[in-house]
Amino acid sequence: MLLALELVGLFAFSVSGALMAIRKGFDVIGIVLLAGITALGGGVARDVIIGATPPVAFTDLGYFLMPVAAAVVTFFAHPALERLTTAVLVFDAAGLGVFCVTGTLKSLAYGLSPLPAAVLGVVTGVGGGVLRDMIARETPALVRPDAELYAVPAIAGTIAVACQPRLAVPAAVVIVAFRLVALARRWHAPTAFILAKCPSRSAPNPPC
């Protein structure tokens, strides 16, 4: 089941990358590359850090071909996919939950302590999206103040798995549910309070 969900997540992440490339006017090569980077970037970074080389993206044909297939589908069907934004977001949330959990579990299996394993779990889940936005010259959704909560559910789930690996499936479900509720209710992370500039004290009746 986890493998099936991971492939669904790969497809969803690939579609989001391909759609971004199309919106930016990339050619077909750029579309395929951005789809692949979005889907595989986080996992490749994790594998390199923990020493699991060559990364699974280059040893498992399914991981390698899924972004290509998704890019081809998006290339021809992007008008319809643009209208299915909600469905893509749901699949993206599913991919986030599964990748965060599997990334944490793999990091634990390679001997990392819980906190670093949780961090790499988050990297696995959000790394590809950050690379996608940087290549497309966008502020990454991970840190945009107007973006719904993305890192918070990922962090909460990976910490739970790192502390108790038996919670892997429930944690994935919680990440997905948390992300979907954040999207539905438009929850945002708090930003720093900025004091308004005070006009000259010589002005009549200064407000501050």
Closest CA to 177 of 163, 187, 191: 187
Give the integer Cα–Cα distance in Å for 30 and 49: 26
Give the integer Cα–Cα distance in Å for 188 and 56: 34
pLDDT of residue 51: 92
Q: Look up residue 67 and give its amino acid.
A: P
Q: Where are the domains of the chain?
A: 2-185
pLDDT digits (tens, 9 = 90+) for 142-157: 888 777 788 888 999 9
Q: How many CA atoms lie within 13 A of 75 on its CB side?
A: 16
pLDDT of residue 49: 93
Which residues of the chain fall short of a pLDDT of 70?
Answer: 1-2, 5, 82, 84-85, 87, 195-208
Residues in CB range of 37: below 8 A, 6 or more apart = 17, 128, 131, 132, 135
Q: What is the model's pTM?
A: 0.81
DSSP 8-state secondary structure symbol assigned to residue 110:
T
pLDDT digits (tens, 9 = 90+) for 78-110: 887 767 667 677 777 888 888 899 899 999 999
